[in-house]
Amino acid sequence: MTETPNASGVPASAADTLLEGSGLHTFYGVSHILHGVDFAVRRGETIGLMGRNGMGKTTLIKTLLGLVRPREGQVRVRGEDMTQAATHAIARRGIAYVPEGRGIFPNLSVRENLVMAARAGVDGRREWDFDRVIQTFPRLGERLANGGAQLSGGEQQMLTIGRALMTNPDLLILDEATEGLAPLIAREIWNIIKTIRASGIATVIVDKNYAAVMALADRSVVLVKGRVVFSGESRELADNEELMHRFLGV
């Protein structure tokens, strides 16, 4: 458990593993959604989490964050068992979340959405603060006094990402960040994700644009009906038309 080889074959210690789920079984009522999923994110790593609609990607993320409890299996954050920990305690260990459907606070202004989330990172880092987020998302800077609900879809997404960065995370989980956005805005979001990745923050990316995900991700994990059917280098998946067709329908 503590000495697992990573993609480059170098053993990584548990301390390098930011977030790890093992043997996760998650249910909604009687429907069995996750069937023994193993998933791990190491420091600085970018992972593409892929799978068609309804395969359990969002459920896996929610399970890892403690928003839904697994019936079986374990969630570890930085090597520590946090299967039963409160979501805020997990988040405080350096994990930020951009949920599906955005999740801005519509009753707060843009400024308030950002300011309320401000926090130093796990090691006391304050690289991301209000000014830097506004520099990164100049559009938000023009709309600080606006209510969250008055923003366009793309701006809302930028606000959600900016708000997540205000917590100075080591890992950013993006669930369908470009969903429903015009291509130009989606490209802007992808560029921002690249910048975030380059700054050393580990990312988990869920997106319908598989090509864009695989181009960015070090590793890809594919879910089919709540099971991991592929886990490995993104290149390996991208180059294998048969896998792409069978698991992702492309």
Ligand X SMILES: Nc1ncnc2c1ncn2[C@@H]1O[C@H](COP(=O)(O)OP(=O)(O)O)[C@@H](O)[C@H]1O
Binding site for ligand X (CB under 6 A): 28, 31, 33, 51, 53-59
Among 1, 116, 145, 211, binds other proteins (CB under 8 A): 116
Is there a contact between 42 and 202 (Cβ–Cβ < 8 Å)? Answer: yes
Is there a contact between 98 and 147 (Cβ–Cβ < 8 Å)? Answer: no
Our finding on whether 156 is near other proteins (CB under 8 A) is no
Q: From the list other proteins, Mg ion, ligand X, none, which binds 21 (C-beta under 5 to 8 Å, kind-based)?
A: none
Nearer Cβ to Mg ion (39/128): 39
* Whole-angstrom distance, CA of residue 23 vs CA of residue 112: 39
Among 44, 73, 79, 103, binds other proteins (CB under 8 A): 103
Burial profile 224-244: b = 16 or more Cβ within 10 angstroms, e = fewer: bebebebeeebeebbeeeebb
Q: CB 35: neighbour CB atoms within 10 A?
A: 16
Nearer Cβ to ligand X (49/166): 49
Among 7, 14, 108, 243, binds other proteins (CB under 8 A): 108
Q: Which of 97, 99, 62, 66 is nearest to 80 (CA)?
A: 66
Q: What amino acid occupies position 109?
A: S
Q: CB 249: neighbour CB atoms within 10 A?
A: 8
CB 186 → Mg ion: shortest distance, Å?
Answer: 17
Only one of the segments 20-28, 87-95, 231-239, 241-249 lies at the binding site for other proteins (rule: CB under 8 A); that segment is 87-95
Our finding on whether 105 is near other proteins (CB under 8 A) is yes
**Which residues lie near other proteins (CB under 8 A)?**
65, 67, 86-88, 91-92, 96-97, 99, 103, 105-108, 112-113, 115-119, 163-164, 167
